[in-house]
Amino acid sequence: MYSLREVNPMLRGIRVSPQWALQRHSEQITALLQQGEQKPFKEVIDISSGDSHRTGIKPISFVRQVLSVCLYPELLHNDTLPVDVRQRAQRLLGECDGGSVGSYTDSCGLPHVQRSVAEFITGRDGGVPSYPHNIFISAGSQIALKVMLKLLVRGKGVSQMGVLTPQPCPHTLPMLLEEVGAVLVPYQLSEEQGWALEPGELHRALTASRGHCRPRALYICSLHLMQGSSLLGALNDIITISPYCPFPSLTGHVQSRKSIEWVIQFAAEERLFLLVNEVYQDCVYGEGMEFMSYKRVLFEMGQQYSEMVELASFHSISNGIIGECGLRAGYMELVNVDPAVMVFAETLLCTDISAPVTGQIALEIMVNPPRPGDPSHSKYTQEILTNRITLAQNAQRAWEFLIGLPGVSCQPVTGGIFIYPRLSLPPEAVEQARSDGLEADVLYSQSLLDEEGVCVGAGCEHGQREDKYHIRLCVLTPSATLEKVLACLGSFHLHFLDQFSQYA
């Protein structure tokens, strides 16, 4: 029998994450309900992850129609499908070897998709040019991030590469850094300042890392803003004239332009490679805010920065409005990276063969949607705007509800698909969790799942400060589902506090 002694030593330190355990437990409860076991609830509602389709958000029709034709080309002759659906599918099939989505593509992706992404970025960034040869298509943004980290990692001991990483951060990032042989150098986001990135904290983290590793990269997981009309305001205008209406950031924080400029200056001074996660760029809804990319700010700061700061930005179809998590595709754009290094990026991507062609098709549609005048434009616009207004209204509704609960505080949410409230839990609950070998927010989340059938994320997954407890909820969900979740959470929370106050 294969034993633990034979396992790669680098893997022995891996532990089952609390969130993985919570989701497995939710699946077990669902199985028991299906077998007829009686519970205080009839179903499990899982809003712990960013999988919006799991919560009940419907796929975008144009995406699924084009995919259907590409998977079954006989539908090219089906007149019940809009003509632009069939034309798009025929064009994309023509880009595939053998005219089939079952064929391999180049490791960097279909050239047509690379061109579409580059055109999208150029338009998004106000004309700052993007080039297809700098675009790498991957099976999701994390695969691309892993490739970039492998290219950057070097050294051992005090010279081992360090990556400045925000706390809280995506729960998979620490494991990924460990896997590639990099050191996580934590910097704390300021919850009291709306999860802002404070310059002094980056300097502190960099100084503290010296003697332990050599920081070479700075990971940013945030939304970024420029002044503009608010999403809700714009949507309200649309509603009045139209019969239809329509990040992360883990914490829902949107970074100001001034903050972005400071980060770029810091990276230039310290010769740090910028790894920028921009997967929630279509999910900005705060008053007076809209997305602005790090690349655009970089190029608007002048040649002293635009020609020297190295940057990789990431986007995917999994997060945000389209929410096609299962199709697995994203892109990475490299800026100011040595062409010789780009060759190695392509070589490393070859180890994953290529991103699924179906995912690349969905990615192409995300960056190149139906245009005004196309038969599918109105319906596509309606579905996208509906999801956006649902997201914006849900975020506001959840925030207002949560701050009304005793022992709960929550920073205003201005972007992304999550809300991240902080829990002030009774000391007795914290002590009970410790005696059970758990973090207090895991105990809270487990109890919520067992009593109400609601699965949320536990904040300890994301590197929160000691003795600070949070939960994570996805708000890109049907409004009716969110209302059920809030009702269950409210009654549970009061019962939880009352239960442990009896032990005082």
pLDDT tens figures, 346-369: 777 767 667 899 999 999 999 999
Is the pLDDT at 503 greater than 80? The verdict is no
pLDDT > 90: percent of the chain: 67
Give the pLDDT band (50/70/90) at residue 244.
Answer: very low
**Which of the two residues, 189 and 76, has the higher pLDDT score?**
76
| 93/358 Cα distance (integer angstroms) | 11
Spatial CA neighbour of 254 closest among 273, 231, 274, 234: 231
pTM: 0.89
**Which of the two residues, 67 and 2, has the higher pLDDT score?**
67
| 238/246 Cα distance (integer angstroms) | 8
The token pair that represents 211 in the structure block: 């003697």
Question: Is the distance from CB of 413 to CB of 399 less than 8 angstroms?
Answer: yes
pLDDT at residue number 235: 39
Could you tell me the residue ranges of all domains in the chain? 14-57+387-501, 92-367
3-state DSSP helix/strand/coil % of the chain, to nearest 5: 50, 15, 35
Is the pLDDT at 217 greater than 50? The verdict is yes
Residue type, 75: L
pLDDT tens figures, 416-427: 899 999 999 999
Question: Is the distance from CB of 273 to CB of 311 less than 8 angstroms?
Answer: yes
Which residues lie closer than 8 Å to 139 by C-beta, 6 or more apart? 328, 329, 330, 352, 355, 356, 359
pLDDT at residue number 161: 95
| 88/361 Cα distance (integer angstroms) | 10
Of 254-258, 304-308, 421-425, give the lowest mean pLDDT range: 254-258
Which residues lie closer than 8 Å to 491 by C-beta, 6 or more apart? 452
Query: Rounded to a whole number, what is the distance in angstroms from the first to the last CA of the chain?
Result: 50
pLDDT at residue number 237: 36
The gap from C-alpha 362 to its chain's centroid, in whole angstroms, comes to 17
pLDDT at residue number 10: 56
Architecture of domain 14-57+387-501 in this structure: Alpha-Beta Complex (3.90)
- What CATH number labels 92-367? 3.40.640.10
DSSP state of 464: P
Q: What is the mean pLDDT of residues 211-221?
A: 92
Q: What is the mean pLDDT of residues 236-246?
A: 29
pLDDT at residue number 236: 38
Is the pLDDT at 46 greater than 90? The verdict is yes
Count of positions (residues) in the chain: 504
**Which of the two residues, 422 and 243, has the higher pLDDT score?**
422
Spatial CA neighbour of 377 closest among 126, 127, 62: 62
| 73/90 Cα distance (integer angstroms) | 8
**Which of the two residues, 194 and 236, has the higher pLDDT score?**
194
pLDDT at residue number 226: 44
Is the pLDDT at 83 greater than 80? The verdict is yes
Give the pLDDT band (50/70/90) at residue 224.
Answer: very low
Is the pLDDT at 232 greater than 70? The verdict is no
Is the pLDDT at 277 greater than 70? The verdict is yes
Q: What is the mean pLDDT of residues 208-220?
A: 93
Is the pLDDT at 81 greater than 70? The verdict is yes
